Amino acid sequence: MWNFLLNTLSVAYVQLIILCLFLWYFLAHRKDVRMPVSRVGIIRMIVLLLIFTYFLLSWASGIRPALAQAAVFGMFVINLFFLYSLILSRLERPYRDALTAYCGDPQNRENLDDIWSTGKRFYYLRHFFSSIMSGESPTRFLHEVTIGRIRDDVQACLRQHGLTQQFISMKGMIAYLEGRLGEEELLPPEFKEVVNKELQDFQKHPWVEDQINEYLKMALETPEKIHNPEWSLLLEKAKSANKAEKKL
């Protein structure tokens, strides 16, 4: 069976037919308005088609059998890349659907869960080879890249629907604190009432909200611009605590 498969894939005409099927799929794929179209991707496809054509013409020119087999192998590698792109596109479609559903109904938590589950599958595969060559833990690399890309995609989708608010904002933080405050059963009701009133009063000041949102945006997008004077104080306290432990 494997010999039959290898012999079939070693035929240049078979590789040409496979390429035509991939091209048909990608042309139909471009008509889907949900999927983003990248100019870089189009240029890459054109370059690969030119290389494939070169291999095909080399094979058809009557070169030595060894070089002819090398040309067929080159066509096979290009088709493998197109297969990888096809799998990526199949994983990206449910992710884009989840983004559209969430932006249409941001209050539904299930839509957000769908974004993270489908987005992780898509971006993990998309950046898999980059994670291997990154020089650090592939799992950590994929996790960090995926979180950043999904967050940016959600923010861009919300902006397309006219929602200019940040994905992570002060109102979201206040809502999170209020939810955690309501779930705590060990805290006395008087304390909950005081903290809840303080949270409500804190978010009434537009200037404070703007500054906190700006800080959160800077922390997510341009963290190199942040300088927190308390970091030096925390470092000094940590050094003093270490010295005290060594003396003991």
Domain presence at residue 241: no
Q: How far apart are the first and last CA of the chain?
A: 72
Contact, 88 vs 68, CB < 8 A?
no
Residue 134 structural domain:
2-160
Using DSSP, state whether 164 is helix, strand or coil: coil
- Structural domains counted in the chain: 1
Domain presence at residue 9: yes
**Band (247; pLDDT cuts 50, 70, 90):** low
Q: What is the mean pLDDT of the chain?
A: 79
pLDDT at residue 78, rounded to an integer: 92
Domain presence at residue 25: yes
Domain presence at residue 221: no
Q: Which residues of 42-56 are buried (b: 16+ CB within 10 A; e: fewer)?
A: eeebeebeeebeebb
Contact, 46 vs 27, CB < 8 A?
no
Condensed to tens digits (0 to 9), the pLDDT of residues 122-152 reads: 999 999 888 888 878 888 889 888 888 888 8
Domain presence at residue 203: no
| Number of helices and strands in the chain (H, E) | 11, 0
Domain presence at residue 41: yes
- Judged by average pLDDT, the poorest of 18-22, 79-83, 205-209 is 205-209
**Band (50; pLDDT cuts 50, 70, 90):** very high
- Residue located via tokens 């390429």: 19
